[in-house]
Amino acid sequence: MAKRIGIDWVNKYHGRADDLKNCDNDAEGFYDHLSGVKWFNFGDDSAWDTDFEQSGTGTPSAGSDTLYADNVDIVYFAGHGWISFGVTNHDNGSASPSEMALGNGRCRYLVISSCEPMSDGGTARWQPIFKGLRAMFSFRTTIGDSADRGRKFAHYLNDGHYMDDAWKWACEETEGGDCEWGYIHTVTPVNSWNDKWTDASPAAVPSPTLHFHSGSC
């Protein structure tokens, strides 16, 4: 069965944060080049935090991840902060870990191309979202506004490289040496170390043991 791909990206923040320039190129480069079924592509005011949130969580409890983030095999976000959006008329404009639960549907991999989601190592903060999710990829530090990261990541994945190596290389090629990438994967009872996009990726168990890796760009 072909794997599904979904992306959200935000350049326009309407004063909530400084506007960005390349998040569309970052996410759409990933979307356009990764092998799989193109499932959703939401940008700017069409990208909402509820795309990532589980129904019944948060205030207001307007999550719709079963239609979006948890209805694809890999979901990629490019924007500010952790998962921060420019509009708040659907919810509060931020998808927090306490509002997310990925993998009890279809999602196996989460990519957050933004500053500092893993600033504290991330395993305790992001543990609650692992409900079948196998791994997530992001950054421990601030990053630049790269147009090419998603495309490079997709090409390495298509070539059958390990997903952690693919993320590491894409980050090294698009950031300076003061940047630190991060990768969280399941360890027990399912070990997703050395996962490849080109291989099958069954769901991990809910609330697995996690391991955090990082390195300098």
Looking at residue 60, what is its pLDDT?
66
Maximum CA extent, the chain: 44
Give the number of domains in the chain.
1
Sequence-ordered list of residues with C-beta below 8 angstroms from that of 85, at least 6 positions apart, any chain: 8, 10, 47, 48, 49, 79, 93, 94, 95
Per-residue tens of pLDDT for the chain, all 217 residues: 799 999 999 999 999 999 999 999 999 999 999 999 999 999 999 999 999 999 877 666 678 999 999 999 999 999 998 899 999 888 889 999 999 999 999 999 999 999 999 998 778 999 999 999 999 999 999 999 999 999 999 999 999 999 999 999 999 999 987 899 999 999 999 999 999 999 988 999 998 999 999 999 8
111 beta partners: 76, 137
Extract the tokens encoding 12.
């326009």
Phi, then psi, of 39 in degrees rounded to 5: -105, -50
Four-CA torsion 71, 75, 80, 86, nearest 10 degrees: -30
| Residue found by looking up tokens 């952690």 in the block | 164
Strands of 10-162 (E only): list them.
37-43, 74-78, 109-113, 135-139
**Type of residue found at 80:** H
Q: pTM, whole model, 2 decimals?
A: 0.96
Cα separations in angstroms, 44 against 8, 10, 14, 80, 152: 8, 4, 10, 12, 22
Q: What backbone phi and psi angles, to 5 degrees, belong to 22?
A: -120, 10
What per-residue confidence (pLDDT) applies to 170? 98
By DSSP bridging, strand 209-216 and strand 4-9 are unpaired
**Local structure of 51: helix, strand or coil:** helix
pLDDT at 120: 87
Given this model, what pLDDT does residue 58 score? 62
- Enter the DSSP assignment of 2: P
pLDDT of residue 95: 93
Look-up of token digits 């990541």: 153
What local confidence, expressed as pLDDT, does residue 208 receive? Answer: 94
**Residue span of the structural domain in which 169 resides:** 4-216
Q: What is the CA radius of gyration of the chain?
A: 15
Q: Scanning the structure block, which residue is given the tokens 């989460």?
A: 110
Hey, what amino acid is at 9? W
Token output for 121 = 């190592």
